[in-house]
Chains A and B, each alone.
Chain A
């Protein structure tokens, strides 16, 4: 099936990380931050970014320790087949949960803002179908697609900031450093999952063209830095527009801001439609690597050459999981809870274990 060589360039890996991370959570991020730490939520973002770096370094180091192998070979060698298959199942569950959450949130928001009569199931289904079509491709195609959508992800933030600036009051950022620092762990716990998505490195790194450690580290620091800057800028923007009490009460403060745009001359108002349209593409590029990875995982578990058949099998599964929660309240409480539990394993514990066990085994082998 695979005749050509799959290769990802360095700039594509940057784009892949940025567009995987910035996704459905960005609309509600200011709300979570304000709930945890009032106006000092940006401290939590900054600290989380600093927490993410070591994990990324560990991921790069795993591939450094095992050159020319992909994650499945490394996992099988380090953990043994049964244990690693369990890990893969956890990854799979995490990806299905997060994809379902994305598809359902998208459906709910599109229905609320743009298509009032269209059935929500259809909106979500068509979205999953579109992602599935792209997810059939190999990782290099996905990286290229991420590279195309990357300017949109950044543009989403820039457009939002530009249109909202005329109505901002910058003194609203004050007072700073007033919150209780004991809330910091809580804030970090909330923001940690806004950075979910960088684990695509595990699947993408073996295919990177230039594997020099320095360049990879640089690329990942750069991309996580961009995400951090965007998150902080959007949080500050929300502060300049709304009172803290309002941010705490609005589930999607950024969408509220699009409704507050009021540039002189009436011609720019009600930008929610425009922003939503861009946002759909932003979360498309978030869900795509996850969908692809879950297809890849299944194909490795069942030892098939191509993963495209599993993409089709996953389609109805994601769709059904997306519609398990009845109401939006259930969706916003249960799904993040499941994603948080699985995410802690997927984002931090399994990669760290993989690294440590690999190191210990190697040391024993040597002695």
Chain B
């Protein structure tokens, strides 16, 4: 028996001599950003997309300052990302490996085409290798130029790439809301609308505002303020700063502990009520003996003022979403689906003709908790 085993073991060595898949990590090309533009080739049989990968120069990421470029760009005309990988492989000596792809930048022209969007996102989702938490970013104009700009940026020195660093930034800016591939598809399934952060490269790389998508098609842009309002209403925002004039001086407040709740208050007329509760802290007011924040009346007055400013702002944004875009980025359809399934079944089919006319009311409840270290 032991001899038999020995023979089997000896024979098994034949199978264990090589590895088909061994590639050292420095022999791989690991793109972290891919930009997709419409192809500028005018030929008839031209490829549809101009695709550009940006990948880190692993040699330059060693310790200490380096003279080398931190990242390289490589581009190709192709019909899909995978076609582009194939094209590129004839120009590089290392195989392209998409596992660490972090950001996909789409130009507005690509994003306006529903078919292209559905195809690109399907490819990303279908692939076994690509991470499904890949962040989506759109840009006005050329996505390729944005990547070129990124190379020149002095803030490029992050290993994971500038876009990822910006999108995941710890300050949790409300100027944009990161949108991963998974969330985007989820939103398309349940809200039929989503917002992808908008990047611009003039004068330097900045992400603010977003592109509004409906049924996988870019239908318009919203600015940073509107994005902030939507993320406040969706409960995605944690902190927010607000400045306004109060009693002849600028008052600066920081809002925190923001909680938003949706409620269907009138089932027949579909009236939705938002309740926002916010804690505030005074950052700055004015050195003036006559203007002190000491009485409850002053506090209440300020609270009411903030609430009014915010409600007006929200109403403008909601109006724009309802009347101009007719896109339910607030997720009211999703809310009905989860909490009022019966109503959902009635309205789901005609949601496009119902959403612009539903009544949305916002209630803001601000509590000023702290007024700072001194109240001079």
Contact = CB atoms under 8 A, between A and B. Distances in A.
Interface of A: 112-119, 122, 126, 171-172, 174-175, 178, 241-246, 256, 259-262, 266, 269-270
B93 interface: no
Contact of A122 (B15, B100, B338, B344): B15
B99 interface: yes
Interface of B: 15, 19-21, 99-100, 128-129, 131-133, 160, 180, 182, 185-186, 189-190, 337-339, 341, 344
A186 B99 CA distance: 38
Contact of B341 (A119, A171, A178): A178
Contacts of B337: 175
Given A178-B341, A270-B99, A246 B128 contact: no
A259 B189 contact: no
Contacts of B133: 259-262, 269
Contact of B182 (A178, A242, A266): A242
B20 A118 contact: yes
A262 B182 CA distance: 11
Nearest to B185: A246
Majority-rule SS of B interface residues: helix
Contacts of A116: 21
CB-CB nearest 4 A-B residue pairs: A117-B20, A243-B189, A175-B341, A174-B338
Contacts of A115: 20-21
Contacts of A269: 131, 133
A243 B128 contact: no
A191 to B, nearest CB: 24
B189 A175 contact: no
A243 B185 contact: yes
A175 B339 CA distance: 6
A175 B345 CA distance: 12
A174 B338 CA distance: 5
B338 A126 contact: no
28 contacts: A112-B128, A113-B128, A113-B129, A114-B21, A115-B21, A117-B20, A118-B20, A118-B21, A119-B20, A122-B15, A126-B15, A171-B338, A172-B338, A174-B339, A242-B182, A242-B186, A243-B186, A244-B189, A245-B189, A246-B189, A259-B133, A260-B132, A260-B182, A262-B133, A269-B131, A269-B133, A270-B99, A270-B100
A171 B19 CA distance: 46
A261 B189 CA distance: 20
Contacts of B186: 242-243, 246
Nearest to A241: B182
A319 to B, nearest CB: 14
A163 to B, nearest CB: 12
Nearest to A176: B341
Contact of B131 (A119, A246, A259): A259
B182 to A, nearest CB: 5
A56 B21 CA distance: 45
Given A246-B186, A269-B133, A270-B131, A175 B338 contact: yes
A256 B338 contact: no
Contacts of A114: 21
Contacts of A260: 132-133, 182
Contacts of B99: 270
B112 to A, nearest CB: 24
A259 B20 CA distance: 24
Contacts of A171: 338
